[in-house]
Amino acid sequence: MLDLEKIYKAQERIEGVVVKTPLAYAPYLSEVSGSKVYLKKENLQVTGAFKIRGAFNKLASLSESERACGVVAASAGNHAQGVALSASKFNTRAVIVMPESTPLTKVNGVKHFGAEVILHGSNYDEAYAYALEYGEQNSMTFVHPFEDEEVIAGQGTVALEILEQYGELDAVVIPVGGGGLIAGMAEVIKSLSPNIEVIGVSASGAPAFKDSFEKKEAIDTLSVRTIADGIAVRDTSEITLAYALKSVDKIISVDDEEIASAILYLLEKQKLVVEGAGAVGVAALLHHKLKHLQGKRVAIVLSGGNVDVTLLSVIIEKGLLKSHRKMKVTVTLVDKPGSLMHFTEILQELNANIVHIAYDRTSISLDYGDANVTVHMETKGAAHQEEIKRRLKEDGYLREN
């Protein structure tokens, strides 16, 4: 069984390899939430996520003969990089099995640390099954992302650091996927500071662990769907669930819209790039799911920052639309010289900055001689957008989106 001594041992092992990440006061978050908020920035970890802690501790716990045989893991994300980097530190062969659909950037990220990559299966579960088989056939140690005592102990070192950096907390908020991080951290917190509330946050599109926690038995789901891929775990581990039932006070969930808004908030207000899994705690705070913590001292773990750039661009674009800093209008013009110029002159008068124009004269919904013009523009808030709409109606531009 996991105990505090095992986690202290893990802290000794990872020293000099793993970064002791900052626990920093977040003034904007504190102001909007009414809590005194501190962010544990594991997004600044050496591999961009906390996973290196458990992976390195696992490899450090192996015998020399076990390390000589190599290690194998299944992952399309942060665990893969953690195992790959850890293996390189021990000059150990590492094989990472990733689904065939894994983006090239993630494959290259693992290869950068010297690991071999095998692309197998259409999803994580197929890659996982193959990795177990491959490890058994080649006498290699399988490094599980969360269902392993040494891995859990390594993740628990996050809590040791938090309590060393600022021990006078009322609550710690932790992302939950497979449960390895919250299992290790909760063990530390309840052993050293039992009055601190431990709160887990999961993605509503990956409900297995939360449902299992509430029903006090391991429950699996048929599928998961969330932008927080780091916590998109389908099945519940009985090992991590047991620790959670022992030491975690509550688990709540946030949806993808809430996660996306938290990613954008952290980027804009805190100047931090955080992936979906790492942003769930902030999402819960921003969307008033932690109201009981108002006036309390709260640490939130930003578990990782390895967000896909394409996803990030979509989140930013949608965020600008929702916050009325961008808008799209479609108007119908008479298709003759000067019509478009007159339309754009109106927008110029209103100080709307055009960033994209699409001109369509062939749609079957149009009368002959007309054209649809769709304009994307930068605006200065809701009042500015209402002013633009009012003026366009006054000037006879009837169609809008």
CATH of the domain spanning 52-142, picked from 3.90.420.10, 3.40.390.10, 3.40.50.1100, 3.30.465.10? 3.40.50.1100
Q: Supply the pTM of this predicted model.
A: 0.88
What per-residue confidence (pLDDT) applies to 291? Answer: 94
Q: Look at residue 76 and tell me whether its pLDDT is greater than 80.
A: no
Mean pLDDT computed over 33-59: 96
- Quick check: helix, strand or coil at residue 399? coil
What per-residue confidence (pLDDT) applies to 172? Answer: 98
CB atoms closer than 10 angstroms to residue 101 = 12
Active site residues per annotation: 51, 303
pLDDT in tens, 239-295: 999 999 999 999 999 999 999 999 999 999 999 999 999 999 999 999 999 999 999
Q: CA-CA distances (angstroms) from residue 42 to 253, 262, 397?
A: 21, 16, 51
pLDDT in tens, 386-396: 999 999 988 88
Q: Of 386 and 400, which is predicted with more confidence?
A: 386
**What is the average pLDDT score of the chain?**
93
Q: According to CATH, where is 3.40.50.1100 located in the chain? A: 4-50+148-318, 52-142
What per-residue confidence (pLDDT) applies to 289? Answer: 96
Say if domain 324-394 classifies as CATH 2.40.128.20: no
pLDDT in tens, 78-125: 999 999 999 999 999 999 999 888 878 788 889 999 999 999 988 787
What per-residue confidence (pLDDT) applies to 398? Answer: 56
Mean pLDDT computed over 133-137: 96
- What percent of the chain shows pLDDT beyond 90? 81
- Quick check: helix, strand or coil at residue 131? helix
Q: Answer for the pair 54, 147: CB distance below 8 angstroms, yes or no.
A: no
Q: According to CATH, where is 3.30.70.260 located in the chain? A: 324-394
Query: How far is the C-alpha of 82 from the C-alpha of 154, rounded, in Å?
Result: 12
Longest dimension (CA), the chain: 80
Say if domain 4-50+148-318 classifies as CATH 3.40.50.1100: yes
What per-residue confidence (pLDDT) applies to 390? Answer: 92
pLDDT in tens, 191-232: 999 999 999 999 999 999 999 999 999 998 888 899 998 898
pLDDT in tens, 154-188: 999 999 999 999 989 999 999 999 999 999 999 99
CB atoms closer than 10 angstroms to residue 382 = 12
Q: Look at residue 400 and tell me whether its pLDDT is greater than 70.
A: no
Q: Look at residue 365 and tell me whether its pLDDT is greater than 90.
A: no
